[in-house]
Amino acid sequence: MPMKRDYSLVGPENAAAVSKGLANAQWYRCAVPRKQMKELMQRSDAAAIRDTILWVLLFILFAAGATYFWGTWICVPFFIGYGVLYGSSSDSRWHECGHGTAFKTRWLNDLVYKVACFMIMRDPEVWRWSHTRHHTDTIIVGRDPEIAVQRPPSLWKVALYFFGWPTAYVALKKLVIHSAGRLLPDEATWVPESEWPKVYRDARIFLAIHIAAVVAAIAFHSWLPVMFVGPLPLMYGAWLGVYFGLTQHIGLAEDVLDHRLCARTVYMNPIFRFLYLNMNYHVEHHMFPMVPYHALPKLHQAIKADTPTPCASTIEAYFGEILPALWRQRNDPGYTIRRPLPSSATPYAATSGPAVAVPAE
Amino acid sequence: MADNWVDACAADAVDEEDVMGFSHGGQNYAIYRSPEDKFYATDGLCTHEQVELADGLVMGDIIECPMHNGRFNYKTGEAKGAPVCVNLKTYPTKVESGRVLINLG
């Protein structure tokens, strides 16, 4: 049986990461002139307002079609579209607005962030802080609470993610715990105590909306309210978001201080990039998280000579790297993909900080 | 506060609505030039996770940390909400003969 590492944030791996200098460490960053970086970081409401209006219109279109054709097979494609918006595209809205980079106007970020959090069933405050840690200690075992697939991987568990399971179940359980005025022990390590009341407040509001949807379904003798709001649309719509999300880090190095080794950039078509808000430029996003999604293609051009060649498509990412790595890591958890760098790039070895780990070959 | 004026940088080294870093005595500081063409100084590291604010983005009165979107009013040092909870220390500045000086006390 392959050795399983302890991915808990309150276990021995946490202390080990701290003692190795992997926690809150200095990471490698590609050189970008200050003037150019300032331009790339500039905020704009225009792109996000345009994309959000389109997003809302698509929600209305698919919900209207699903309702109109309810009871016939024709409603199925409308529910597929609605589900992808609800359970998949909300993930990238949650993400980008959580960074505060989608809109220039702060309250618009906060509004879309909360709405997306409700749809993806994430507590806004817990996940804000969880993601902060993910960026500080990206794929550092014992430090990063957002390592999607632990080694050795359970392929069943990975498959279940595509059906929003156990995501929805765990989220509901946490919603109840937070509503009762409690945090889980690991959450308490990354959420400051001053923010705990906000966690409880948001959980109670979200739980009340979920209960209202169930009550409406009972009162109207219709499944429609729970098909549109709550765990069901998350479960039947999560698949595409999971398909996107697993490209980010799977199979790449743990415990290194170079995003080029632990994150993956994948080229995607414009529809995918609209749904995913350009998070396919994932090396770029991790290296410079304050660059808004609409500027990531430009950032990619600026640093691509110093980053691994991106996967040409999601198909190439899955069949060339992710699936073979998952299969091999079942018995060889130390197996790690080391993506080749162009000759113009700073070699990986030269990016080592004082305590950088050497990725497994 | 005692006077301990230290030469930080040339005034024209900092663009309007921008920031640059400055080190002195093993400490990091950030020098800001506001859109009104006035200079300000704060500690150089974000109070959240000690990231260099000189790599951040200045927007009006706000400096945004380049890592986690922590925002401070660089004129007062006030933390503007999660993920920053602790205010930033500020320092008096003056410009003499085209140089920015900060009073480290």
**Residue A282 contacts B, CB cutoff 8 Å:** no
pLDDT band at residue A6 under the 50/70/90 scheme: very high
A136 touches chain B (CB under 8 A): yes
Interface contact A194-B85, CB threshold 8 A: yes
| Residue A347 belongs to some domain of the structure | yes
> Among candidates A178, A88, A161, which has minimal Cα distance to A127?
A178
Q: Does the residue A72 lie in any domain?
A: yes
Residue among B49, B67, B85 minimizing CB distance to A289: B67
Nearest residue in A to B65, CA atom: A290
Q: What percent of chain A has pLDDT over 70?
A: 96
Do the chains contact at B57 and A41, CB–CB below 8 Å? yes
Mind listing the pLDDT tens digit for each residue in A295-333?
999 999 999 999 999 999 999 999 999 999 999 999 999
Evaluate whether residue A245 is within a structural domain.
Answer: yes
* Residue A265 belongs to domain spanning: 12-351
Residue A27 lies in a domain: yes
pLDDT, tens only, A220-241:
999 999 999 999 999 999 999 9
A135: left (phi over 0), alpha (psi -120 to 50) or beta: alpha
Does A32 lie at the interface with B, CB-CB under 8 angstroms? no
Complex-level ipTM: 0.86
Residue-wise pLDDT for A68-111, tens only, equals 999 999 999 999 999 999 999 999 999 999 999 999 999 999 99
Tell me if B41 sits within 8 A of B7, measured CB to CB: no
pLDDT at A204 over 90: yes
- For residue B22, the SS3 value is strand
Asked whether A99 and A128 are in contact (CB, 8 A), the reply is no
A32: nearest CA in chain B? Answer: B55
Asked whether residue A248 is assigned to any structural domain, the reply reads yes
In which order are the strands placed within the sheet that holds B18-24?
B18-24, B27-33, B39-43, B90-91
Q: Residue B93 contacts by C-beta under 8 Å, 6 or more apart in sequence?
A: B8, B31, B39, B40, B41, B100, B101, B102, B103
Answer whether residue A239 is part of any domain.
Answer: yes
Confidence (pLDDT) at B2: 79
Query: CB distance A290–B56 less than 8 Å?
Result: yes
Overall number of domains in chain A: 1
**A57 lies in some domain:** yes
- Nearest Cβ partner for A290 among B49, B64, B85: B64
Confidence at residue A350, expressed as pLDDT on a 0 to 100 scale: 52
Measure in Å the smallest separation between the Cα of A41 and chain B Cα atoms: 7
Sorting pLDDT into bands at 50, 70 and 90, what band is A342? very high
Report the residue from B57, B64, B67 with minimal CB separation from A135.
B67
Q: How many CA atoms lie within 13 A of A286 on its CB side?
A: 25
Residue with tokens 């009550």: A215
Instruction: Please state, in angstroms and rounded to a whole number, the distance separating the CA atoms of residues A294 and A313.
Output: 20
**Both tokens assigned to B29:** 């500081």
Q: Which residues of B touch A132 (CB under 8 A)?
A: 48-49, 68, 83
Domain residue spans of chain B = 5-103
Q: What six digits make up the tokens of A21?
A: 């200098």
Residue B63 pairs in a beta bridge with B58, B72
Residue in B55, B59, B83 nearest the CB of A132: B83
pLDDT digits 0-9 by tens, A119-171: 999 999 999 888 999 999 999 999 999 999 999 999 999 999 999 988 899 99
Residues of A in contact with B69 (CB under 8 A): 99-101, 289-290
Q: Do B69 and A99 touch (CB under 8 A)?
A: yes
| pLDDT at A41 exceeding the cut of 50 | yes
Q: Does A290 touch chain B (CB under 8 A)?
A: yes
Mean of all residue pLDDT scores within chain A:
93
Burial state string for A171-203 with b = 16 or more CB within 10 A and e = fewer than 16: beebbebbbeebbeeebebbbeeebbebbbebb
Q: Smallest CA–CA separation between B97 and chain A, in Å?
A: 26
Top-level CATH class of B5-103?
A: mainly beta
> For A285, which residue in chain B has the nearest alpha carbon?
B67
Whether residues B66 and A135 touch (CB distance < 8 A) is answered with no
Inside any domain, residue A359? no
